[in-house]
Structure 1
Amino acid sequence: MNPTVRRLAFATLLAAGLPVAAQSQHRVDPQRLYDYWILLNQNVAVDVPNSARNVNQPGCAAVSYMIGSDGLPRDLKVEKVVPKGDFGQIALSAVSNFRYGPSLSNKNHDPVDTYYVVPFNAPSDPAGQQQVMAPCRLPGYES
């Protein structure tokens, strides 16, 4: 094979592999996320429909996502909604607006996979909030 063609083929393969290399290899429990990324938002904009199914009940929605090296959520997916209803799209809207900065121990801005549980109509006390959010915890994330 011609050396120029070989270099071009290598460069093409290398470029094609970059998106894969940028993907996270690390799943992090939300309670340990501060070891890698710090949420910078104090408030986020959320799209709430005028009418939706079961949004007046206490409930939760879990959204999984990757925090990219730029601190932006990517590959968002609604994983669980309790009770069944339209909480998922509202939660997805909120999480898509999160912005992160790297923690001091994440100097390389390494991407991580995580999730966020959005509570809806939860009581104000911490125990009541945990009870509403518990059904939306996702297994398989490092704690």
Structure 2
Amino acid sequence: MDTRYIRHARTHARGAIQPVVIAALVVVVVLAAAAWFLIIKPHQDLMQSDNGGHPSTPVSAGREAAPPPANVEAMSLNQLLSEARRAMNEQRLLAPAGNNAFEFYLKVLQKQPGNQVATDALRETFPFAANTAEQAINQRDFNDAQRQIDLLAKADPANYTLTILRSKLDAQRKLQDREQQLAADKEKQAQLAAQKAAADKVEADRQAELKTQQAAAEQTRLAQQARQAQQQQAEAARQPQAAPAAAAAGPADAATHAAVLVKNTAPRYPTAAMRSNQEGWVELSFTITPSGDVSDVKVVDAQPRHVFDRAAMDAVSRWKYQPATQDGTPVASTKRQRIEFKL
């Protein structure tokens, strides 16, 4: 065979292959560019947003998102796709409401069901948009997170990621409710503690005032006894002196006085009455023995009945008295006492 014919055939074959190779290279470049803008670049921007930004904010520092279009319903398919691409570039996948890529693409599908550009874009960006919704859940922006999940459901209602997002949203809401309940319980406990502290202070002040009054009454009684003794001495000095035996026995036999409280114990406020903020009083009768002890304690009257009786009786039973005397001799005596219970 002629070698010139073989060389010519080979050259012709190489010339036919070159356009096929060029076309293949062009397809590869186009696919790489589409992958960069639709998958790789959005993913990198989302990673950057995870390190300090928010996926719904522009990537460039200081640049604000454009306002939403005035009349989305009147926009054509090309306008909607243009707005969607702009939102994708600015990382407005699901937010803000009314001005994000998913809403624009979904509007495209409403106007033209099966639009391939919108369908592919929603499918490819779904994972990144799901990350955006998860960030909203973690930030406890529950209303916006629910809105974003609803948008994802319109794009791909059967996607299992929606189940995970809804479970996380429900768990975060329950966690917030528990935290709020715990905070409310702590506040209520603090209020109850403050009320109890105030009630204890009031009771302590009342007991201190009661002791002060009792001390003042005792001092008044002692002063009266001293004046009575001085009057008796003066009267005795004016009267003629009696027989020596009668004069010796007279002053001692004439010493007669009522029982005097020397030690009292404050009644314990019943727990049930304190919890229900209940107040009342109990009137008691009891016997003071010649030794100064209290016995035969009885409830004469009470308001309300059977609430403070036991606390009042227990307290009075521990009181100590200087017993009453008759002609200088300690004798038993009876007494009535009202015990007040106030918060």
Report Cα offsets for 1:61-98 as digits up to 9, x if no partner.
01111101111011111121112241111110111111
The TM-score normalised by the length of structure 2 is 0.23
Offset of residue 111 of structure 1:
0.6
Q: 1:120 to 1:88 in 2, by over 3 A?
A: same
Tell me the C-alpha RMSD between the 2 structures.
3.1
Offset of residue 108 of structure 1:
1.1
Unaligned stretches of 5+ in structure 2? Answer: 1-220, 222-256
Instruction: Report if aligned partners of 1:40, 1:101 keep a CA contact under 8 Å in 2.
Output: yes
- Pairing of 1:1-143 with structure 2 (within 5 A): 35-41=257-263, 43-44=264-265, 46-52=267-273, 56-102=277-323, 107-121=328-342
Q: 1:110 to 1:83 in 2, by over 3 A?
A: same
Cα distance in 2 between the residues matched to 1:84 and 1:95: 18
Cα distance in 2 between the residues matched to 1:47 and 1:111: 27
Cα distance in 1 between the residues matched to 2:312 and 2:261: 16
Q: 1:118 to 1:37 in 2, by over 3 A?
A: same
Offset of residue 58 of structure 1:
3.5
Q: Which has the higher helix share?
A: 2
Q: 1:75 to 1:62 in 2, by over 3 A?
A: same
Structure index of larger Rg: 2
Cα distance in 1 between the residues matched to 2:269 and 2:279: 16
Cα distance in 2 between the residues matched to 1:55 and 1:92: 21
Unaligned stretches of 5+ in structure 1? Answer: 1-33, 123-143
Question: How many residue pairs get matched?
Answer: 89
Secondary structure in 2 matching 1:51? helix
Cα distance in 2 between the residues matched to 1:95 and 1:76: 8
Offset of residue 59 of structure 1:
1.9
The TM-score normalised by the length of structure 1 is 0.51
Instruction: Report if aligned partners of 1:68, 1:110 keep a CA contact under 8 Å in 2.
Output: yes
Instruction: Using CA pairs under 8 Å that are at least 6 residues apart, name the structure with larger relative contact order, 1 or 2.
Output: 1
